[in-house]
């Protein structure tokens, strides 16, 4: 099935005729749909220059938003889009389904509809067709690492816009790292006054005020995107521990690191838990969504193995070893957040070994295919935890198409590799698989201007795997559709990179 729309709809039936958009077109909603109707008007008006009339009743000419009858059995994010010569009807069971229908509808118009200024197009036409569509997964995530490299609020909003177009509904925001603590916590001001400035590279200083956070969360909500903050503990925390070294095992500030170290939050110190719970209190106030991500990856236990308090905690709590101590640490924080009706996401490291049982509000993000293949996926399911599939092979878009900096040949991949070999693309996923993720880490100094060319166009393969239900196109047909989107990417100001290794010219630079 070929379509102008990416990610591809479930079913498309093309008919004869066209719907021609005209000045003073009526856009109407019967009960629900006001937000999406106004969103559509704002998108159409700036490129067409047309005026629109909005009504709240059924119409026979124009664009109509309808609430689905129960017998249509449309899920929350599903939609039915019907284009006839006189009327476009968008039917969904919720505003979010209508919003995704609009994302599809806009792709059916001439691509200039995405322009930010009035265009001299004489005919704004859409081919008559019926589209039935729904997502494969309820959780479709894009992760951005703002811990190593700091991005502006404007840049974050720009990517939220792109996510909406791609029908992604979760922004996983990695806010803490060895290179920087990026979120204002009123109770602990040193986290930002010190922790946001520990690294010395370009775009590595800065933090988001609580006002910035609320602004971004509200903007995301208007696009039906939930923001999930990641506060990575006990490892990847060197910036926080530089600000508050009393929470290390030996009360000594660590050095800022680009990767990771054995300098962890001390799990044997009860004051550590008080500190982190106070931080999480403010995090929960700022992020009203269902999930908080607490990291849990890459935490070498060298310091814990030498720390008297940590070793004493292992004995007192009847734990097996320092790995089990991390599970105890994770369990305590998860249980604390459970009291606040939050679910907690941990990276797959927490299920590699046996030990303390994690609470039922824990979700596991499977990432390290490179070293552990599908161990995290299998173990999480075995233990009854929901899973987010986001393997570093091939969902990590910071891995470029060809070598760059510390990314050697074995840490590269292209569009075809993602489309045909991504381990996260499960054909018949277990019911516990909540969804999929794509990630853009900024290690080794991936600055703002370098991000577009890593994310696009390869992210189209990942969103196809997250969204599309049913038989897939061959890669050649899919790639042809992706290339048709290059004009759109240019209109959106996206500095897209090469999709294939063969597309990379000798003079191309990832930086």
Residues 1-5, mean pLDDT to the nearest whole number: 78
Structural domains for the chain: 11-133 (3.30.379.10), 139-503 (3.20.20.80)
CA proximity to 226, closest of 173, 295, 294: 173
Percent of the chain with pLDDT over 90: 97
Percent of the chain with pLDDT over 70: 100
Q: What is the residue-wise DSSP string for 58-82?
A: --SSEEEEEEPPGGG---TT-EEEE
Residue with the larger pLDDT of the pair 440 and 73: 440
Q: What is the residue-wise DSSP string for 104-151?
A: HHHHHS-GGGG-SS----S-EEEEEEEEEE--S-SEEEEEEETTTS--
Contact 24, 50 (CB under 8 A): yes
CA proximity to 472, closest of 419, 415, 423: 419
Q: What is the DSSP letter of 247?
A: G
Rounded to an integer, what distance in angstroms lies between the CA atom of residue 5 and that of residue 494? 18
Rounded to an integer, what distance in angstroms lies between the CA atom of residue 421 and that of residue 429? 16
Could you give the C-alpha distances from 142 to 65, 174, 459, in angstroms and in order? 29, 10, 9
Residue 227 has pLDDT above 60, yes or no: yes
pLDDT on residue 1:
55
Residue 154 has pLDDT above 90, yes or no: yes
pLDDT on residue 489:
98
pLDDT tens digit sequence for 72-119: 788 999 999 999 999 999 999 999 999 999 999 999 999 999 999 999
Three-class DSSP category at 207: coil
Which residues have a Cβ under 8 Å from the Cβ of 44 and sit 6 or more positions away?
Answer: 21, 50, 52, 113
Rounded to an integer, what distance in angstroms lies between the CA atom of residue 360 and that of residue 344? 9
pLDDT on residue 508:
96
Rounded to an integer, what distance in angstroms lies between the CA atom of residue 190 and that of residue 130? 56
Residues 391-401, mean pLDDT to the nearest whole number: 98
Under the banding of pLDDT at 50, 70 and 90, the label for residue 309 is very high
Contact 147, 176 (CB under 8 A): yes
The runs of H, that is alpha helices, within 167-236 are 190-193, 210-222
CA proximity to 220, closest of 254, 252, 173, 267: 173
pTM of the model: 0.98
Place of tokens 């959780």: 139
pLDDT tens digit sequence for 30-40: 889 999 999 99
Q: What is the DSSP letter of 353?
A: S
What stretch of H or E contains 10?
none
At residue 41, φ and ψ (nearest 5 deg) are -60, -45
Contact 17, 129 (CB under 8 A): no
The pairing of beta strand 79-83 with beta strand 25-29: unpaired
| Angle, CA 13 vertex, CA 418 and CA 136 arms, to 5° | 40
CA proximity to 403, closest of 498, 503, 510, 506: 510
Three-class DSSP category at 180: strand
pLDDT on residue 3:
80
CA dihedral 455, 458, 461, 462 (to 10 degrees): -30
Q: What is the residue-wise DSSP string for 25-54?
A: EEEEESSS-HHHHHHHHHHHHHHH---EEE
pLDDT tens digit sequence for 314-355: 999 999 999 999 999 999 999 999 999 999 999 999 999 999
Under the banding of pLDDT at 50, 70 and 90, the label for residue 288 is very high
Residues 266-277, mean pLDDT to the nearest whole number: 98
Under the banding of pLDDT at 50, 70 and 90, the label for residue 2 is low
Residue 70 has pLDDT above 90, yes or no: no
The pairing of beta strand 226-230 with beta strand 170-174: parallel
Quote the mean pLDDT of the chain: 97
Which residues have a Cβ under 8 Å from the Cβ of 350 and sit 6 or more positions away?
Answer: 296, 326, 327, 330, 358, 362, 364
């Amino acid at each position: 099935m070929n379509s102008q729309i990416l990610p591809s709809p479930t079913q498309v039936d093309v008919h004869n005729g066209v719907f021609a958009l005209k000045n003073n077109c009526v856009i109407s909603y019967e009960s629900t749909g006001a937000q999406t109707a106004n969103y559509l008007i704002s998108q159409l008006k700036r490129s067409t220059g047309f005026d629109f009339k909005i009504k709240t009743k059924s119409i026979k000419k124009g664009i109509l938003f309808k609430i689905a009858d129960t017998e249509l059995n449309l899920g929350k994010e599903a939609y039915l889009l019907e284009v006839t010569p006189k009327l476009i009807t968008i039917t969904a069971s919720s505003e979010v389904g209508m919003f995704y229908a609009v994302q599809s509808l806009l792709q059916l118009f001439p691509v200039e509809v995405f322009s930010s200024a009035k265009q001299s197009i004489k005919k704004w036409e859409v081919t008559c067709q019926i589209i039935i569509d729904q997502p494969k997964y309820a959780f479709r995530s894009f992760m951005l690492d703002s811990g190593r490299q700091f991005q502006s609020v404007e840049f974050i909003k720009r990517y939220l816009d792109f996510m909406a177009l791609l029908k992604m509904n979760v922004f996983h925001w990695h806010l803490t790292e060895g290179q920087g603590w990026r979120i204002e916590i009123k109770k602990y001001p040193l986290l930002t006054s010190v922790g946001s400035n520990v690294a010395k590279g370009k775009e590595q200083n800065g933090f988001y005020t609580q006002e910035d956070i609320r602004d971004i969360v509200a903007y995301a909500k208007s696009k039906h995107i939930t923001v999930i903050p990641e506060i990575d503990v006990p490892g990847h925390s060197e910036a926080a521990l530089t600000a508050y070294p009393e929470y290390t095992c030996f009360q000594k500030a660590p050095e800022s690191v680009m990767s990771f170290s054995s300098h962890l939050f001390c799990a044997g110190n009860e004051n550590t838990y008080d500190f982190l719970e106070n931080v999480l209190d403010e995090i929960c106030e700022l992020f009203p969504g269902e999930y908080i991500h607490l990291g849990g990856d890459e935490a070498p236990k060298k310091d814990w193995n030498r720390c008297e308090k940590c070793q004493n905690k292992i004995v007192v709590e009847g734990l097996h070893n320092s790995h089990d101590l991390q599970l105890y640490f994770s369990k305590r924080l998860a249980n604390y957040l459970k009291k606040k009706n939050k679910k907690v996401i941990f990276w797959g490291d927490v299920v590699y070994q046996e030990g303390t049982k994690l609470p039922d509000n824990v979700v596991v993000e499977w990432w390290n295919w490179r070293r552990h293949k599908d161990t995290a996926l299998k173990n999480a399911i075995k233990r009854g935890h929901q899973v987010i599939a986001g393997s570093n092979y091939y969902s990590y878009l910071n891995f470029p198409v060809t070598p760059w900096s510390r990314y050697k040949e074995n840490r590269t991949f292209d569009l075809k590799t993602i489309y045909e070999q991504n381990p996260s693309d499960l054909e018949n996923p277990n019911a516990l698989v909540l969804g999929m993720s794509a990630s853009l880490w900024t290690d080794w100094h991936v600055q703002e201007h370098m991000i577009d060319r890593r994310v696009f166009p390869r992210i189209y393969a990942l969103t196809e795997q997250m969204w599309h239900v049913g038989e897939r196109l061959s890669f050649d047909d899919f790639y042809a559709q992706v290339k048709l989107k290059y004009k759109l990417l240019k209109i959106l100001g996206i500095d897209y990179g090469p999709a294939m290794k063969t597309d990379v010219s000798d003079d191309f630079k990832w930086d």
